[in-house]
Homo-oligomer: A and B are copies of this chain.
Amino acid sequence: MEIKNFLHPGSIAVIGASRDPKKIGNQLLDNIISGGYEGKIYPINLKEEEILGIKAYKNVSEIGENVSLAVIVIPSSLVPGEVENCAKNNIKNFVIITAGFSEVGKEGEELEHKLESVAKKYGLNILGPNCLGFINSSIRLNATFAETDLKEGSIAVFSQSGAIGSAVLDWFLGREFGISIFASLGNKTILDECDFLEYLINDEKSSCAVLYLEEINNGKRFMDVVSRLTAKKPVVLLKSGKTSEGKRAAMSHTGSLAGEYETILAGARRANAIVVDTIEELFLFMKFFKRNLSVDDSRIALVSNAGGPLVITTDYASQKGLKFHDFDDALKGELTEILPEVRTINNPLDILGDADADRYRRAIDKIISNRSFQSLLILLTPQTSTQIMETVNIILEAGKKYPDKLITTCFIGGRSLEEAKAMLDRSASVINFDFPNQAVKCLSRYVRYLNNRNNPPYTYFRDDTPVYKGVQEDYLVGLSLLQKF
């Protein structure tokens, strides 16, 4: 289903708009207005003449102009009828915020079937029901009832869980980077993740997609769309086992669905999605994508004033398949000259516990300006000679001076680093993690994604988590997934 028009409505009716600030119908209208949306807005309410300074209508039929999108927040029992009424008034696109459909049991299911029939009869796009709404920051449209900054960014986020959607929007508050498109998928009666992912293939505003899914309705289409998208930009997927487990419990007498969860994940990997296991990793990856990444291979250097953390990071990197390639002789020579304090010049580079800001500066400058290295991971622990804020400034300057390079930082410790970490976090040019394992995890998975993208058909990389243990052969799994749905 083509959803470009859905995401770029020329005008919006809010059906169930309210003057009461406690009501979602008020918060939603307020968000659309205050976000800065420039199209026409029509509050629909049976009793009001005006809401939030905008003329209100009793019914969409009164508007007398074309409406591109209806956002619906009326009680569930009224929804199918109202959608049909809108459809008769030539509205094709809908966001149904209202809950109380298939998620609440049998009665709700019937209501959702009715809604589906109306949608199919008129060929409608419907997001939801039972969702937070969506955001398209390129047209400054916040059609959700969640508080958010609407800072334009390049991260596209789709969540089947409202709670995770809320958490993600909250996580973006006050950050220097933001969302391109956000959609809370809700019950996915009509529109699902595939519709949005397909749109992203040619959306230049979005540099990646971050997904939380509980179920995938159409495995074949999912693998097809994700494969096409990952050929251009990374897709990060967190999938819960909810539906699979629920189904398993319900259908335990057949046993036919055992392993479906693993199969879906294997299929997603086959399509070169970056599959993560925890909400923490989902958030980490968003941090990692705050820049349009320019690294296109694994040429990564590591600089540290801390021997222990450097060794642990190297261990961890090697476990995750990430290598710190040797400096070439020319670079070694240059570094030896400018770092006479440091005995062993190699990658990873230990600039020693007594490194001051100037020693950091010399090492960083030389490595980041070298065309052999696209990416630099910088570790720091607070020791007696450490100049914390001065070192931060040096790193931020390097980030600005070399915008085509990727600088990642981990300052390991506690209170004395708080200000430094906050500054690094706020920076647009540097990506800061609390711990090196987080940086290594993101970098290694990203490099793996790139390797796969450049060498299709994808090599199957097994993950370490037990859930993937049983899956040995990616190709067969990919095929079986395709045949299954």
A167 at the interface (CB under 8 A from B): yes
User: Are A311 and B241 interface neighbours, CB within 8 A?
Assistant: yes
A349 at the interface (CB under 8 A from B): no
Within the complex, the shortest CB–CB distance from A355 to chain B, in Å, comes to 11
Q: Kindly state the interface size class of chain A when it binds its partner.
A: 35 or more
User: Are A240 and B315 interface neighbours, CB within 8 A?
Assistant: yes
Within the complex, the shortest CB–CB distance from A478 to chain B, in Å, comes to 23
When distances are taken between beta carbons in the complex, the residues of chain B under 8 Å from A164 are: 306, 308-309, 381, 412
Within A296-310, the residues touching B (CB, 8 Å) are 305-309
Q: List 22 A-B contacts (CB under 8 A).
A: A24-B384, A104-B343, A145-B384, A160-B308, A161-B308, A162-B308, A162-B353, A163-B308, A163-B383, A167-B309, A167-B413, A170-B381, A170-B382, A171-B413, A173-B414, A173-B415, A242-B308, A242-B311, A278-B316, A279-B436, A464-B464, A464-B465
User: Are B414 and A171 interface neighbours, CB within 8 A?
Assistant: yes
User: Are A437 and B278 interface neighbours, CB within 8 A?
Assistant: yes
Within A357-381, the residues touching B (CB, 8 Å) are 381
A107 at the interface (CB under 8 A from B): no
Q: Which A residues fall within an 8 A CB radius of B? A: 24, 27, 104, 145-147, 159-164, 166-167, 170-175, 212, 214, 238, 240-242, 245, 277-280, 283, 305-309, 311-312, 315-316, 319, 343, 353, 381-384, 412-417, 434-438, 464-467
Asked, given contacts A24-B384, A240-B312, A307-B161, whether A413 binds B166 with beta carbons under 8 Å apart, the answer is yes
Within the complex, the shortest CB–CB distance from A477 to chain B, in Å, comes to 20
Within the complex, the shortest CB–CB distance from A320 to chain B, in Å, comes to 9
When the two chains form the complex, which single residue of B241, B305, B353, B464 contacts A466, counting CB atoms closer than 8 Å? Answer: B464
Told that A162-B353, A240-B311 touch, could you supply 9 new A-B pairs with CB distance under 8 A?
Answer: A145-B384, A167-B381, A167-B412, A167-B414, A171-B415, A175-B414, A245-B315, A278-B312, A278-B437
- Complex CA gap A159/B413 in Å reads 14
User: Are A312 and B166 interface neighbours, CB within 8 A?
Assistant: no
User: Are B163 and A277 interface neighbours, CB within 8 A?
Assistant: no
Closest B-chain residue to A284, C-beta based? B435
- Complex CA gap A279/B308 in Å reads 10
Asked, given contacts A163-B307, A353-B162, whether A279 binds B412 with beta carbons under 8 Å apart, the answer is yes
